[in-house]
Structures are given as C-alpha cells and as structure tokens.
Amino acid sequence: MNLIRRMLPLAVAMAVATPTLAAVSENNDDIMIQGFHWHSASAGDWYQQVGHQANELASAGFDMVWLPPASQAGSLEGYLPEQYNNLNSNYGTEQDLRDLITTLHGKNIKAIADIVINHRNGTGSWCNFVNPDWGNDAITSDDEAWDATGSDCSGTRGAADSGGGYAAARDIDHSQWYVRQSLKTWMNDVLKGVGFDGWRYDYVKGYWGGYNGEYNEATSPYFSVGEYWTSLCYNGEDCFFGGEYPDQHRQLQLDWVDSTNGNSAVFDFTTKGILNKVLETYNFSHLRDGNGKPQGTIGAWPSRSVTFVDNHDTGPSEMCGNGQSHWPVPCDKVMQAYAYILTHPGVPSIYWAHYFDWGLGDDIKALMALRKAEGLHSDSSVTIDRAEQGLYAAYIGDTVAMKMGNGSWSPAGGNWTLAEAGTDWAIWTKSELPGDWKRTVILIEGLTESGQDMFIRGGIDHDYAAANLGRSCTATNFECAMPIRHNNLRNATTAPWKANDNYLDWYGPEASQSGAAEGSAADWTTNTWPADWGAVKTVAVDGFGEEPLNAYGAHYWMLDVDMDCSKAVDGTWFELKTFISNGPAWEADVSQAGAPYVSGNHFAECGKVNVFKRGESEPVSIHNF
C-alpha cells in the first residue's frame, strides 16, 4: 500500500507534465449521456429512438452521447464484434446511424463510439476474421481457442496477451503492426466517416493501454475514455480474491491513464463503487481519502476521470431489478449519487435509463443546469467539510456546497441559497454580494496553551467613522464592521464558531453564531511540522498546521476571509485586536507606525496578507498574495 501511495503524486505530476490533447482537455465542462442500456438492441430501431430525443438532449445541456457498438457482431448487444467495417447492427442500419449523428451534430452534440477491440469473434467459425481480413496471428498466443475442442485456429500464433484474458471471444494481439493499422483505418475512415467524434474503449484491462494512446494519436478524437473495471474492496472489511482496496483500486486506473501517455480519460469505477457502499450504509467516511481529497480518481487526476452512477453493465435497465444490474447503486438512492457526481469534478456521464425510463429526467436536468450555471468542470476544487456516519458535506469551487445523508448541515457564512434538494441530499449556491470583495489574510503570532484559541475582532473606530466618514456606528447597524466570508472551514474545532459569522466586528457573537465565539475564529498555523509532532497537519487538508502563506514560524494564527473592501477606510484600512480564550484574553494596545489615524489596535489592509505579533507594534508586514 505504501508503494501505491507514493505513486499517486507521480500520476498527478503526469497530469501537469503531459501535453494536453483534444481528447482530454483540462477544465472540461462537458456532460455525457450513455445513449443506450442493456435492452436497447432489442428495440430494432434504437438509433431512430435516440434521434427522436435530440431536442431533449440539447435542451438538457448534454455535450456528448455515447452510442452502442456500431459494428456487426455475434451478440445482440454488439460486444462480440465480427465485421468491424459493417455498420449494420441490431441498433439500426448504417444509414440510420449516419442520420442520427447528423441530427446530433445539428444540436451541437458530439457522438462517442463504443470501441470493442480487446476481442473479436470469427465470422462463421472461431477464427475466421473478415471485413477486415486478419490472419490467425492476430490472436494472442495464450488464447483458449488454440487448444479448445472444435476450434479451427491453427498456424502462427500471435504474441502473449498484454492484459487480462476474455473467454467469450478471441483476444486480439495488438502487437501486430497490421492489426493496429487495420483498426486505425476502421476508426478514421469507417467510424469517423459516418460522423463519430470520439471513443469509449471497452474492456481496456485486457490489453496494454499504450495501444489506446497510439490509436488516439492516430485518430485525434474529441474525447476518449476507457473502461478499466476491476473488483473493489472496502477499507475495514476483508478483501475477496482479486479485489483491491480503494487506494490500490484507484492506482490501477491512474496507471492505465499513464500508459496512454495521459491522452485518455478513464471511468472512475473507484468513485462508483464507493457510492454503492456509502449509499447503502451511510458511512460517508469512505468518500474521503487519507489526504482529505475525494477517494476516487477525481481526487488524484480529475481531468482524466469520467464519473457515473450506473451503466448498461452495472445497473438495471428500464426499471429497478431488470437488465444486467451487476453492481448497482441502491435504486432509491440514485438521485443522491447524481447530486454527488454533478457537483464534483470529473466529466459526468448520465445513464439513459435513469433519465428517460425512471422518471428522473427533470431532476437530473435541473442538476445539470446548476452545474453549467455555476461553472463547475472536471478540475473544480473540492473542500470536504464532513465525511462521517450519516453525513457527507463539501464545498465545490467558490459558489457551490452540497450534502448527502440524513445528518443536518448547512454551509457556513452568508449569502448561500438552497438551490436543489431531495431525500437526504441538498445543494446550495452562493451569489455575489455587492461591494468590493477581496481575499484578505491576517497572520498574527500568539503563544497559546492547550485549550486556548485565538479570536479576532475589528472594523473601524466609531469616533473616527463619525467624524470623518459620516457613519453613525452601533452594534445593530454594523456600519463600522467589515463584511467577511470565511475561506477555511476545514478545522473541526473552529468551523462551528465560524458558522453565521458574517462580519469582523467589535461586538461579540452575531445572531445565530455560537455563543462560544469570542469574535472571528482564527486557525493555528506553522511554517514547518517537525517529525516528532506526528502525522503532518496542513491548513489545506485539516484546517490548521502547515500553511504556505506562513513563512514566519510556529504559532501564527490565521484568519483567511473574503472581505468587502468598500467598507474599509479609503477602501483599504481596517483595525483589529486579538482575544485568546481560556487565558490571556485581550491583547495589549499597540501603536503602529504609518497608520492612517491614531488607535491602540493593529491596522491591516483589505485584500492583502497582513502579518503582526500579538501585543507588539512592530514588526509589521503587509504584502500582496
């Protein structure tokens, strides 16, 4: 496990170092729908049925439709391909497919082809590959067909399989140059010839991912994603044969993306499997990894992650309980899962059956509209506030907060509006407040003991405001207070004190703020974390500990807020004083050089990093971020 954890940063570094290709753009705000389910092939005219929904797909805001395998196959659903170049299938004729893609393009929707190239059926026999024609050396040397009773496979064998075997059809040897050229021609001339824009690769654990990278380089898809599905075990439980715990499970997917040279995304089966579990048990702690990030691939390489609730293999089809349903999210918790994937990073994929057959289309459409309106995308930041029994809560980007579970929670700070909600889930959005809002940080050194915390009060001197600003300040009108919104809500100790703390003021707890708050709560920080202190704590993950803005030493308490600078003196200055609970209480007066007027308080500049020492007039450092 330690090796795997050390490898994770390498995968993240790869995301930075690898040139961005069209198939995996950064900050991708696309949403995909899987345009079929397991029973769609039985319809006979499926392409036409999808075309009839083109207006709805466009209205909902879908950017891509993943269509089923297009080639003639030896199985109803198309996953045992025989004649790659024959695009007449159980979903419709080649002309039906052309007409559908033309319709989708007319709505600015891309068509993603299901590429099944791990294995192939022979036409009329085990190993008769026609249209395109391949020899038996296209079959891996360790395929079961070479020694099977009734098999007609003979002659020169291909190389050993570069991945896992697939018994239902012949495993393709991608090391054969002519096989790769044949597949590239099929993808470029036949599939792109009818209008396909990108690829969903089936069963990619069956062969080396470098071949997928080569195929993408040769075909320049709009988008590419691979299905790397392996068994997942859950932390705290016995792992069955062949399964992997979440860290290792995620690492396998990241390794596959690495093998493609980073030019394909991967379906986030780690997130999908964990959602299955937590929505059954309500133990949401599984959703947070050891670094405080989302546990799935979205927590390590989000731009290369495609999130989903269910698909044609894992979930039911037209109704709960039918179809394949191999690994489904609990049927009554599907909307909770969509609330998660449609607010979190990655590229979300919606399941056709959920949208069109389960009566969830309007609810999913509303979440899609929220995602688009708030500018969420594949690389949106996530700050997990709670992940515990009964409750998951997180802030995504700057303007979205969400919760799942039956625990009570609401976002801290002001100006949040409940936007969407359902059974055991809710999503809030934050609108911009009038004013001149800028990130403002106070770092102030103050030695404390166990059980002591630092609070900050501040604003503008009442007498100065009356004489010079025309403000008559009282404890009820907040005219001399500085409007704030806390940025650090990760510290479990201080977060409750920050709830409903909307002003840096002189007056004590605000209405609905905790009575234990002696002002605006600050968080303890340091510039280094010695080894003998134990596991490293950081502000980014834990809400306290090491902090990059602290270049000064231990015991620098930090207040990190967005502040309305329009309320400051000359749009710049405000005062502050600290209070340490359970001990020293108020700090002594200071006399700061260069202050705009006389006061016994520290003066800070709105929109900057302000560094002080408690009870001391100097040194003072005020600088830009």
Residues known to be catalytic: 202, 227
Write the DSSP string, 125-146.
SSS-BTTTTB-GGGB-TT-GGG
Q: Tell me how far CA of residue 240 lies from CA of 153, 167, 235, 237, 613, in angstroms.
A: 36, 22, 12, 9, 56
Cα 37 to Cα 39: distance, rounded to the nearest angstrom = 6
Cα 469 to Cα 460: distance, rounded to the nearest angstrom = 10
Cα 397 from chain centroid (whole Å): 11
Phi, psi dihedrals of residue 431, rounded to the nearest 5°: -95, 155
Contacts of 213 (CB under 8 A, 6+ apart): 259, 260, 261, 263, 264
Task: Please provide the distance, in angstroms rounded to a whole number, between the alpha carbons at the two ends of the chain.
Answer: 38
Give kind and range of the element (H or E) at residue 269: helix 269-281
* Strand ranges for 374-533 from DSSP E: 382-388, 391-396, 400-404, 416-422, 425-430, 437-445, 454-459, 482-486, 503-504, 520-521, 523-526
Contacts of 33 (CB under 8 A, 6+ apart): 57, 62, 64, 65, 66, 349, 350, 351, 352, 355
Residue with tokens 């770092």: 443
Say which DSSP state 318 is in.
S
Q: Tell me how far CA of residue 455 lies from CA of 345, 520, 584, in angstroms.
A: 34, 5, 12
Three-state secondary structure string covering 532-574? HHCCCCEHHHHCCEECCCCCCCCCEEEEEEEEEHHHCECCCEE
Phi, psi dihedrals of residue 259, rounded to the nearest 5°: -65, -25
**Closest Cα partner for 101 from 190, 197, 183, 186?**
197
Contacts of 620 (CB under 8 A, 6+ apart): 592, 593, 602, 610, 611, 612
Residue 259 CB: number of other CB atoms within 10 A?
Answer: 17
Give kind and range of the element (H or E) at residue 365: helix 361-373
Cα 424 to Cα 406: distance, rounded to the nearest angstrom = 5
Contacts of 335 (CB under 8 A, 6+ apart): 360, 363, 364, 422, 423, 425
Instruction: Please give the single-letter amino acid code of residue 188.
Output: N
Angle at 294 between CA 241 and CA 257, to 5 degrees: 65
Cα 592 to Cα 7: distance, rounded to the nearest angstrom = 49
**Closest Cα partner for 333 from 404, 389, 269?**
404
Cα 532 to Cα 344: distance, rounded to the nearest angstrom = 36
Query: What is the rounded radius of gyration, in angstroms, for the C-alpha atoms of the chain?
Result: 29
Phi, psi dihedrals of residue 46, rounded to the nearest 5°: -60, -40
Say which DSSP state 596 is in.
S
